[in-house]
């Protein structure tokens, strides 16, 4: 029997990268998965791959920064599967490593809209469903930039610190109602994430990569999905409000 047998899980940003690996791993552990992304092509490819492998999956095109989309994400999931047990707030974008003096309003706004407001919208929509169901589990995708100050640009660092804060707030306020909320803080994971960065701020990048030689190795998407399985399953039943660094000890230095 899988570790997430009969659970219904929504994973945002699961058309590619870490989110896709988490959705696939959850499905392999018996969950019915809801693939959510604003990239329609990636979304359909992931859903088709999962179905071909014999898993139960649906896809919903959602921009997590848009309230109606996030409401649709939760409503359609309940309509299709009758419930939601797990929400993974994974969708996120980078900030081109912009240091404070070079922050562009447009970049700041996009990072806040997706990485912070997007997470809030997911939480706000899913918590009433969890309360009605008698509980649920949330896994937020933070970053090592949410625990340290010098690994990203200003906007990304601020946004991921906000994710860590929201994680603690939910655990604190809703823990007594059987809702758990934990986060993962990866260092560098090989995905298409870096390729989405354009016009990278040279100074910001130079500072953010200081000490990179101390990172023993890059993480794999499976390293992160293993943690996401643990945090979604009953194996972590006594853990709430925690952000786990997934960085091979880099930030422990
Ligand atoms: N890759 C890394 O090194 C790394 C390190 C630390 C944290 N993270 C975090 O992990 C998460 C996933 O990153 P990844 O490396 O898999 O990135 P990725 O770019 O490979 O995949 C992200 C997916 O999210 C989707 N997405 C982006 N914005 C969206 C939105 N507004 N609405 C819906 N879907 C959206 C994209 O279309 C894409 O399919 C992000 O929150 C990122 O900040 C990544």
**Per-residue model confidence (pLDDT) at position 249:** 95
Q: How far is the CA of 125 from the centre of ligand 1 (A)?
A: 20
**Per-residue model confidence (pLDDT) at position 83:** 98
Tokens 């906000």 correspond to what residue?
A: 162
The residue among 29, 162, 7, 155 whose CA lies nearest residue 89 is: 162
CATH code, domain carrying 77: 3.40.50.720
**Helix, strand, coil shares of the chain as percentages rounded to 5?**
50, 15, 35
Looking at the domain assignment, is residue 252 inside a domain?
no
For the chain, 253 residues long, the average pLDDT of each consecutive 10-residue run is 96 98 98 98 98 98 98 98 98 97 97 98 98 98 97 97 99 98 97 88 92 92 98 98 97 90
Looking at the domain assignment, is residue 47 inside a domain?
yes
**Per-residue model confidence (pLDDT) at position 222:** 98
| Distance in angstroms (rounded) separating the CA atoms of residues 31 and 137 | 13
DSSP string, 146-184: GT-SSSS-HHHHHHHHHHHHHHHHHHHHHGGGTEEEEEE
- Ligand 1 atom having least distance to the Cα of 21: 16
Number of domain units in the chain = 1
Q: How far is the CA of 195 from the centre of ligand 1 (A)?
A: 11
**Per-residue model confidence (pLDDT) at position 195:** 82
Residue nearest to atom 19 of ligand 1 (CA): 193
Looking at the domain assignment, is residue 159 inside a domain?
yes
Helix axes 67-81, 118-133, angle to 10 degrees: 30
Rg of the chain over Cα atoms, rounded to whole angstroms, equals 17
Q: Is 253 a catalytic residue?
A: no
Give the strand pairing for 8-12 and 86-89. parallel
Strand order in the sheet with 8-12: 57-61, 32-37, 8-12, 86-89, 136-141, 179-186, 243-246
Q: Is the CB of 13 under 6 A from ligand 1?
A: yes
Question: Whole-model pTM?
Answer: 0.98
**Per-residue model confidence (pLDDT) at position 211:** 87
Residue nearest to atom 24 of ligand 1 (CA): 13
Q: Is the CB of 143 under 6 A from ligand 1?
A: yes
Looking at the domain assignment, is residue 202 inside a domain?
yes
Q: How far is the CA of 176 from the centre of ligand 1 (A)?
A: 31
Looking at the domain assignment, is residue 160 inside a domain?
yes
Looking at the domain assignment, is residue 249 inside a domain?
no
Looking at the domain assignment, is residue 248 inside a domain?
no
Range of the domain at 205: 8-243
Looking at the domain assignment, is residue 1 inside a domain?
no
**Per-residue model confidence (pLDDT) at position 206:** 93
């Amino acid at each position: 029997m899988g570790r997430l047998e009969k659970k219904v899980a929504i994973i945002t940003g699961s058309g590619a990268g870490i989110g896709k690996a988490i959705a696939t791993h959850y499905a392999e552990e018996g969950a019915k998965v809801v693939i959510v992304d604003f990239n329609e092509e990636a979304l359909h490819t992931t859903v088709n791959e999962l179905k071909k492998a014999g898993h139960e999956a649906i896809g919903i095109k959602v921009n997590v920064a848009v309230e109606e989309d996030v409401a649709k994400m939760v409503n359609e999931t309940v309509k299709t599967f009758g419930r939601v047990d797990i929400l993974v707030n994974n969708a996120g974008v980078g900030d081109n490593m912009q240091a404070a003096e070079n922050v562009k309003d447009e970049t700041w706004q996009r990072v806040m809209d997706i990485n912070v407001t997007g997470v809030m919208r997911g939480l706000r929509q899913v918590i009433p469903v969890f309360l009605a169901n008698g509980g649920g589990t949330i896994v937020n995708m933070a970053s090592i930039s949410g625990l340290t100050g010098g690994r990203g640009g200003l906007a990304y660092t601020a946004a991921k610190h906000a994710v860590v804060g929201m994680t603690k707030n939910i655990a604190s306020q809703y823990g007594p109602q059987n809702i758990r909320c934990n986060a993962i803080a990866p260092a560098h994971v090989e995905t298409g994430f870096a390729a989405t960065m354009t016009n990278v701020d040279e100074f910001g990048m130079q500072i953010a990569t200081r000490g990179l030689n101390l990172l023993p190795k890059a993480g794999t998407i499976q390293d992160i999905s293993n943690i996401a399985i643990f945090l979604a399953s009953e194996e972590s039943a006594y853990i709430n409000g925690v952000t786990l660094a997934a960085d091979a000890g880099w930030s422990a230095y």
